[in-house]
Amino acid sequence: MASLIHCPHCGVRPKEEFSIRGDASLIRPDPEASDEAWNDYVHIRSNPRGRYREHWQHVAGCRRWLVVERDTFTHEVFAVTDAASSAREAGR
Amino acid sequence: MSRTYISRHPLDDLLPLEPGIRAVDHLDVPRSSAIVSVMAMDGEEASVTAGLAASGDVSIRFTGPGEWLAVSQSETPESLHRNLSLLLAETAYFVDQSDGRVVFRLSGPNVRRILAKGIATDLHPAIFEVGTSSNVLCGHISINLARTGENEFELIVMRSFAIALFDDLKVMGREFDLSAGFSVRG
Amino acid sequence: MTAYRLASGGLIDRSAPLDFRFDGRNLTGFSGDTLASALLANDQLLVGRSFKYHRPRGIVTAGPSEPNALVTIGKGADSDPNTKATVAELYSGLDAHSQNRFPSLKYDFGAVNGLLSPFLGAGFYYKTFMWPAAFWEKVYEPIIRKAAGLGRAVLERDPQAYEKCWAHCDLLVIGSGPTGLMAALTAGRAGLRVILADEDFRLGGSLLGETARVNDASAQDFTETVLAELRSLPNVTMMPRTTVFGWYDDNVFGAVERVQKHVALPQAKLPVERLWRIAAKRALLATGAEERPLVFGGNDRPGVIMAGAMRTYANRFGVAAGKSVAIFTNGSAGYRTAADLAAHGVEIAAIIDSRAEGADVAPDGVRVIRSASVIDTKGRQRVCGAVVERSGFEQTIACDAIAMSGGWNPVIHLACQRGAKAIWSEDLKTFLAPDVGNGLVVAGAAAGRYTLAGCLKDGAEKAVVIAADLGFSTVSHTAPAVEGEIDPSFTALWYSPGAKAKAFVDFQNDVHVKDIGLALREGFGHVEHAKRYTTNGMATDQGKLSGINATGLLAAMQGISPADVGTTTFRPFYTPVAFGALAGTSRDEHAAPVRKSPLHGWAQRNGAVFVDSGLWFRPAYFSRGGEKTWRESTDREVRNIRENAGLCDVSTLGKIEVFGPDAAEFLNRLYCNPFLKLPVGKARYGLMLREDGMVYDDGTTSRLSHEHFVMTTTTALAGGVMSHMEYCAQVHWPDLKVRFCSSTDQWAQMAIAGPKARLVLQALVEDDISDAAFPFLAAGAVTLRGGLKARLFRISFSGELAYELAVPAGLGEAVADAVMEEGMAHGICAYGLEALNVLRIEKGHVTHAEFAGRVTPDDAGFGRMVSAQKPDFIGKRLSTRYGLTAADRMQMVGLKPVEPDQHIRAGAHLLREGAKPSTLNDQGYVSSACFSPTLGHDIALAFLKSGRERYGERVVVWDKLAGAEVVAEICNPVFVDPGNTKLNS
Amino acid sequence: MRYSAFSIVKNALTGNVNWTPAWRQPEPKPFYDVIIVGGGGHGLATAYYLAKEFGLKNIAVLEKGYLGSGNVGRNTTIVRSNYMLPGNEPFYEFSMKLWEGMEQDLNYNAMLSQRGIINLYHNDGQRDAYIRRGNAMWMEGVPAELLDRAALKKMLPFLNFDHARFPIMGGLLQKRGGTARHDAVAWGYARAADRLGVDLIQNCEVAGIRRENGVVTGVETSRGFIGCGKLGLAAAGNTSRVGEMADLKLPIESHVLQAFVTEGLKPAIDHVITYGAGHFYISQSDKGGLVFGAEIDGYNSYAQRGNLATVEHVMEEGVTMIPGLSRVRVLRSWGGVMDMSMDGSPIISHTPIDNLYLNCGWCYGGFKATPASGWCFAHLIAKNETHPVARFLRLDRFERGYPIDEHGAGPQPNLH
């Protein structure tokens, strides 16, 4: 994972073409959601050892945000998908 | 009082005015190109793709989903912008980048070995085929790379990085005595 | 012919002698030699001193695991310290020096440490040098530091060049011995894209020193035949002199190619070393096996050499390691060395075999002493005898070299670099790599298949499987036939009992058996603890020879299996790699690309002094004749703008074109202030927050049409803001119909500021730009005289009547020249970042010096701008947290010194008058400060606790770093034109 | 056995066979008053100070591997107290003072070497930020000096003064900053704690935290259940995993940071130097190896290894800062798992569970904090109240809006 990422739009690319933002399982809460929900969203991380969904942006390529699903210990990548598609599927 | 404004190319002081001796591996720099960013409106990606494919003389470079650079050596920025607007009316947005991008054309038997010094993408012709284009990192600079022939590539870079990319390409090509010059035609 | 050069044989070119120097002596070797083989040929066995005890040390190996023969090659800036003589390819003019000795290799004062060795055991540092406390840094540490270390780093600019390169292949074969050759050949014939990499300058690996015959030919001729076929295959790339040093995620391998390390004068157009990143679909590890040293008394004496290395020196390099060689072995390999050396006419003093019996045949007339061990060695700078013990009886066997052979350690380094633990094989008495997936397959001797036929077969077979896996079909062919096959069997011997001298485990770091025992006794028995406590395996060879023996010793001492001890962690680099090679061309001025503004040339012609600003170079100020300091130029520029007009390049500000029916809604959610109702043709200052409520960036955004905006960002965060917008659009609000792209590079943008700005511009712009027609915050397309379409914005950072004019980048210089020409009559000047900074401080405008990622809009005085009406925007919710709204937050204020001739510096802190400096009493700090030419004294922007309530109060501006304390008055941060009359004029 | 000049001589003359184990290998008892999870520097220091300063007797440290097997043994050994924000500076200066007396206190030579740390600056903005930082240090009574280019050139002539992409303008110097021998810190605390009766239990992995009526009663481990009165977590990169056993929601991401050492060289670099136009930092160990590192790889990871792109970037910064490094060979690289917090600053805190205490968020600055972290955590556990210098390092500071964000990067751990 940490060497090559298969961008769904551009193909296999080196790590340095990407920037990484963090946990992709977090969903920005509704403006009316509780303080706790907002604090959790901004500050709390599940940080699992194992399967994890992470936001990577292909900054030097297509500039799309991607959801990279991978293992945080073995670094095996299970899937890379477009973040907007994932967000739409999640109903955002 | 009327005025005329003379346009400058970023490499004006770095490349000779007259073409010099051309090595087998050569970097050709068109002095000007018409380049337009094309962004498909939501849901219009397919129709814009089809429209661009039918745009004739214009080279289409993929930059991202629903986004392309349209490049032409024969049209002016204004005419390219106008023609695309007519062709793809109500389906895409356009931003003129003719002054914001610089085109390099690299050709010769060693181009793959030269580019491998900066670009991680596998440029084997069976993998990065003629006609393919994509944004890639070349060294530390993001460019659009297109394969225009077995041993011919076109690199489009942001204007502010043009000199830096040119310097990098010269270093990458020094092993093969890469030559460079403005296009005779352009 | 030199002393130890054999009369014939070897893969050296005896017709091509090469002159070289070692410690100032002129010596001669041959093309095809390593530095080590040439030194041995010249009777220069002593090559270095050990790390701790400064014991004399000789060449031990013929390869990359060498612990002793470390030399510095070259001179001054062009030198490589700690180079292994055993892998350094000899060239004419090579100049090598021994290390870690004073005054000379033969007589080294440091050897006194050897006498002190009872005090210097494992971990001794930790127990001592504590009394008195102050002595460590002043006395002890400098002595220890000076004694430690090996070669000398010159730390001068390296005159050589480096580069990086990517490669892609179906199969990377690492190692070109019998296994690797057969794998490459098999895969190459099947059509795979193959890379065959080997660290040696000559491909062939162990075959180059092999006496067994393959396919009825010598091993060397067989090698040449295979290499010739590989060279003929266009899909096979051969990479000699290339060390694969690391295995990384996704089967990417790091390798370094020594392109010109073997030439005296490198060509300028080629790098001396080239870093490869090889993306391989599959890789085959064919790195062979390392012979294991024996741990016996006096085993570090120069002349004690690995048996296999002696064989290599004789067979490949035509060099005898000694004239009379004693062989100490625990397996059959020792007999093979005996046979090969004897065949070259070297006398075999005896074979000392630790085993009671064996079927091995010694050369005719050679004495074999079974069930025996070497317990000590004689001699000083070269061994002159081996003390052999058998059944309690000792005898000394005269010899001038001792070959040791302790079995085999497969070279599994790369396979274990990604977390896999080596596993103990009770059968093979060694550690093997576990299954690490199909990306990297271990084969041949590296997988414990030591026979030559086994290696040839394994390489071919595994390549067949890989090819099939990748969808290639292979042609079957018969495995090469081997004649004179070797017997790799041995009996594990971790420690040869009865040592009468130190028995070394790690030669370079001087770790001996008793150190391991001490570590165990003191509770450092975990293999990692033992390593760290004794430093075993931490030398430049990273335990290639010592690691497994230490594990065996720890196991034996505790009466457990080596399986329960395990190995230490294998990590990159397989062998050390130079910084330069890893850095490639990205260094010095090329460490990061330079971005140049389209107005760079214009600025240069106008006398700009540039300063870097992120990747850009921007004019700091424009020096005019007679001006001696930046301040003189800056003050002039500021005054001129306040009185006349000035032109400043602002092309580097980020520009983002935003389109779409939801563009306004998108911006409204992005900024903390409202954008929904921004009229077409208008610009608005916008403040962007992070989700935690702190200011992220600011800039103006203009509405060019109903569905088209152009946003500006700061230079520093142009890229960051773009990514942030993409994140918001794609992840948060994918259903908003909005598209955007950067147009930063398309436009040359210039700020024209000052009371005469309109006069200057109107001369150039065809449209009416009177205050009525084009008021403050107007924005839109204009036409310049001559018909050039441009964008004009009436915005101001300086507080003056000001415009920003954007024209296509290529025309930027021409338009800037035209503006200057039209402005000449009105006294226009070019101005840079320094003047811009002064102007904005005078006006109380903020930059990232104020925001710094820790400031809320309210802190900076923008509290009222934040929309309370909007249901949502980035940063809204967390802005309301207690700590972000607390009354004692630091708020932005202005400061002016009470004594006008006193100075204030950014970074100074604030104290109440009379308060003692302490973290508790700290009231705030100065974020920006300058001399104001307009007011005639220093002014500053500062963040002060509850600052806005404190206008008129005095504070102490405390700058201890400068030794300065200045009393200042707290004031409104807008120092110039607080009523905005100039702005709106 | 106490280490003294006498003991060294005596043992040397008797063949060094009478040295005794540095610590016992005890079997876990059924119950401890305090259990610390994590036998790294912070956990061991906590146990030591609990016993020595706060008089607790029945203490255990549980370590899943061997003592010191985490970040205390894989860092770049830098010790300093040059922070800017009031939430940090007093804490790190407290730590610095403890470093200065540690070796005598522990009777163990950790080779603290106060050779001076220099942070380079490359532009006016950075200089101003360092002035602010230096003055903040002085506010806390910590001496700092601002060096200009000329002073720096005299002190560190090997820096890239002539061809730097980002010119070196000067530096901020803390003379008391420096390095210490990292493993020795863990061993010194371990040995000293053991002498005070602390049970150091290795190969004991915590698998669960048992709670009754909302209070922690003990831990399930690979060596069985062990009861406790109070539980302190000092698990660094594994904090989230251990915290999850008590349903703690934590502002922590685990990231991998690589570090490097070169082959041994004669003394060449006498200070700790950090690069201002990147993240590179370097010093030379007493054994001669140049020890260095730079930024984290950037993605969440529990693997103690990094990627080549980062390696190359680190080397690019290295030769750009010191061109003469070009010919120096890098011997080894390794990775540590960092407990990155949301503001880049640590957490020593109560938790929502009464007798459960938390020590984490060290990002890549944990080594220098070892003594103060141990002391303040011990203070918190023993007295159930925060030590004054650690009063801002609370777990709830994020929701309350009091982040301690030295870099101003906001709640994105990989930017700190």
Q: In this predicted model, what pLDDT tens digit does every residue of C492-520 receive, in sequence order?
A: 999 998 999 999 999 999 999 999 999 99
Q: What are the extents of the domains in chain B?
A: 26-31+100-182, 34-96
* Selected residue of A42, A81, A85 to mutate for chain C interface (largest C Cβ count, 10 A): A42
| Torsion sign over Cα C881, C887, C893, C896 | negative
Contact C785 B158 (CB under 8 A): no
Q: What is the pLDDT of residue C486?
A: 83
Neighbours of chain A (3+ CB pairs under 8 A): B, C, D
Instruction: Please give the average per-residue pLDDT across C958-985, as a whole number.
Output: 96
Nearest chain A Cα to B144, which residue?
A61
* Ranges under pLDDT 70 in chain D: none
**Tokens 């992005």 sit on residue:** C670
Q: What is the pLDDT of residue B57?
A: 84
* pLDDT above 70: residue B185: no
Q: Is some CB atom of chain C closer than 8 A to the CB atom of A68?
A: no
Cα angle A35, A36, A40; round to 5? 120
Q: What are the extents of the domains in chain D?
A: 26-78+182-251+343-415, 95-176+253-341
Tally the domains of chain A. 1
Of the candidates D238, D253, D309, the beta carbon closest to that of A45 is on D253
SS3 D398: helix
Greater pLDDT, C114 or C765: C765
Q: How far apart are CA C474 and CA C902, in angstroms?
A: 85
Q: Is some CB atom of chain D closer than 8 A to the CB atom of A20?
A: yes
Q: What is the pLDDT of residue B120?
A: 97
Contact A17 B64 (CB under 8 A): no
Of the candidates C279, C722, C872, the beta carbon closest to that of A4 is on C279
Q: Determine contact, residues D118/D173, Cβ cutoff 8 Å.
A: yes
Shortest alpha-carbon distance between residue B17 and chain C (Å): 17
Which residue segment(s) compose the domain that A37 sits in?
Answer: 4-89
Structure tokens at C113: 């440490």
* pLDDT above 90: residue B3: no
Nearest residue to D61 (alpha-carbon basis) of D95, D22, D26: D26
Q: Rounded mean pLDDT of chain C?
A: 96
DSSP C653-699: SEEEEEESTTHHHHHHHHBSS--TTPPTTBEEEEEEE-TTSSEEEEE
CATH 3.40.50.620 fits B26-31+100-182, yes or no: no
Contact A12 B137 (CB under 8 A): no
**Per-residue model confidence as pLDDT tens digits over C419-466:** 999 999 999 999 999 999 999 999 999 999 999 999 999 999 999 999
**Per-residue model confidence as pLDDT tens digits over C253-265:** 999 999 999 999 9
Question: Residue C478: which pLDDT band, with cuts at 50, 70 and 90?
Answer: confident
Nearest chain C Cα to B114, which residue?
C165
Q: Is residue C786 located within the same domain as residue C657?
A: yes
SS3 C814: helix
Q: How far apart are CA C594 and CA C596, in angstroms?
A: 6
Question: Under the phi-then-psi rule, with left for phi > 0, alpha for psi from -120 to 50, and beta for the rest, what region is D193?
Answer: alpha
Hey, which residues 141-200 in chain C have their CB within 8 Å of chain D? 141, 144-146, 148-158, 160, 162, 164
Last residue of a domain, one of C517, C550, C574: C574
Contact C165 B117 (CB under 8 A): yes
Question: Residue C1: which pLDDT band, with cuts at 50, 70 and 90?
Answer: very low
Q: Determine contact, residues C832/C618, Cβ cutoff 8 Å.
A: yes
What's the predicted TM-score (pTM) here?
A: 0.97
Shortest alpha-carbon distance between residue D357 and chain A (Å): 18
Residues of B in contact with C741 (CB under 8 A): 37, 39, 67, 95
* pLDDT above 80: residue A81: yes
Last residue of a domain, one of C456, C483, C510: C483
Neighbours of chain B (3+ CB pairs under 8 A): A, C
Pick the CATH number of B34-96 from 3.30.420.40, 3.30.70.270, 3.40.50.2000, 3.40.50.300: 3.30.70.270
Last residue of a domain, one of C356, C376, C404: C404
Of the candidates A38, A59, A87, the beta carbon closest to that of C734 is on A87
Phi, psi of C964 (to 5 degrees): -120, 140
Contact B65 A82 (CB under 8 A): yes
Q: How far apart are CA D230 and CA D217, in angstroms?
A: 8
Shortest alpha-carbon distance between residue B77 and chain C (Å): 11
Q: What is the pLDDT of residue D350?
A: 98
Contact B64 A62 (CB under 8 A): yes
| Alpha helix positions (H), D67-123 | 89-106
Beta strands of D139-214 (E only): which ranges?
Answer: 145-148, 170-174, 178-179, 199-201, 206-212
Residues of C in contact with D25 (CB under 8 A): 523
* pLDDT above 70: residue C2: no
SS (H, E, C) C866-896: CCCCCCCCCCCHHHHCHHHHCCCCEEEEEEE
Question: Residue C100: which pLDDT band, with cuts at 50, 70 and 90?
Answer: confident
Q: Is residue C816 located within the same domain as residue C699?
A: yes
Q: Is residue C728 located within the same domain as residue C803?
A: yes
Question: Residue C3: which pLDDT band, with cuts at 50, 70 and 90?
Answer: confident
Of the candidates B64, B67, B121, the beta carbon closest to that of A13 is on B121
* pLDDT above 70: residue B1: no
Q: How far apart are CA B60 and CA B37, in angstroms?
A: 10
* Selected residue of A25, A49, A51, A70 to mutate for chain D interface (largest D Cβ count, 10 A): A49
- Max CA pair span of chain D: 67
Residues of A in contact with B142 (CB under 8 A): 17, 59-61
**Per-residue model confidence as pLDDT tens digits over D144-188:** 999 999 999 999 999 999 999 999 999 999 999 999 999 999 999
**Per-residue model confidence as pLDDT tens digits over C335-359:** 999 999 999 999 999 999 999 988 8
Q: Is some CB atom of chain D closer than 8 A to the CB atom of C75?
A: no
Q: Which of A70-84, C141-155, C768-782 is least confident?
A: C141-155
Contact A16 D309 (CB under 8 A): yes
Structure tokens at D2: 């106490």
CATH number listed for the domain at residues D95-176+253-341: 3.30.9.10
Q: How far apart are CA C717 and CA C696, in angstroms?
A: 9
* Selected residue of A3, A5, A6, A17 to mutate for chain B interface (largest B Cβ count, 10 A): A17
Q: Is some CB atom of chain C closer than 8 A to the CB atom of A55?
A: yes
Q: Is residue C532 located within the same domain as residue C476?
A: no
Q: What is the pLDDT of residue B72?
A: 96
- Close Cβ partners of B149 (under 8 Å, ≥ 6 residues apart): B107, B130
Q: How far apart are CA C149 and CA C631, in angstroms?
A: 49
Q: Is residue C476 located within the same domain as residue C500?
A: no
Q: Is some CB atom of chain D closer than 8 A to the CB atom of A11?
A: no
Question: Under the phi-then-psi rule, with left for phi > 0, alpha for psi from -120 to 50, and beta for the rest, what region is A38?
Answer: alpha
**Per-residue model confidence as pLDDT tens digits over C859-880:** 999 999 998 899 999 999 999 9
Beta strands of C372-469 (E only): which ranges?
Answer: 372-379, 383-390, 393-398, 401-405, 408-410, 423-425, 430-432, 440-442
Contact A43 D254 (CB under 8 A): no
Question: Residue B186: which pLDDT band, with cuts at 50, 70 and 90?
Answer: very low
Q: How far apart are CA C365 and CA C464, in angstroms?
A: 46
* pLDDT above 90: residue B54: no
Q: Is some CB atom of chain B closer than 8 A to the CB atom of A6?
A: no
* pLDDT above 80: residue B171: yes
Q: Determine contact, residues C233/C171, Cβ cutoff 8 Å.
A: no
* Selected residue of A47, A72, A75 to mutate for chain D interface (largest D Cβ count, 10 A): A47
Nearest residue to D86 (alpha-carbon basis) of D407, D390, D396, D398: D390
Shortest alpha-carbon distance between residue C699 and chain B (Å): 21
Nearest residue to D364 (alpha-carbon basis) of D334, D344, D393, D392: D344
Shortest alpha-carbon distance between residue C533 and chain D (Å): 9
Greater pLDDT, C3 or C572: C572
Structure tokens at C6: 């054999």
Contact B5 C594 (CB under 8 A): no
Q: Is residue C787 located within the same domain as residue C774?
A: yes
Q: What is the pLDDT of residue B170?
A: 97
> HSE of C469 in the Cβ direction (CA atoms, 13 Å)?
17
Between chain A and chain C, how many beta carbons pairs sit less than 8 Å apart? 72
* Selected residue of B121, B143, B144, B161 to mutate for chain A interface (largest A Cβ count, 10 A): B121
Shortest alpha-carbon distance between residue A8 and chain D (Å): 19
* Selected residue of C144, C541, C961 to mutate for chain D interface (largest D Cβ count, 10 A): C961
Q: How far apart are CA C654 and CA C326, in angstroms?
A: 76
Between chain A and chain B, how many beta carbons pairs sit less than 8 Å apart? 43
Which residue segment(s) compose the domain that C819 sits in?
Answer: 648-831
Nearest chain D Cα to C965, which residue?
D135
- CATH number of the domain at C539, please: 1.10.10.1100
Q: Which fold has domain D26-78+182-251+343-415?
A: FAD/NAD(P)-binding domain (3.50.50)
Q: Is residue C257 located within the same domain as residue C298?
A: no
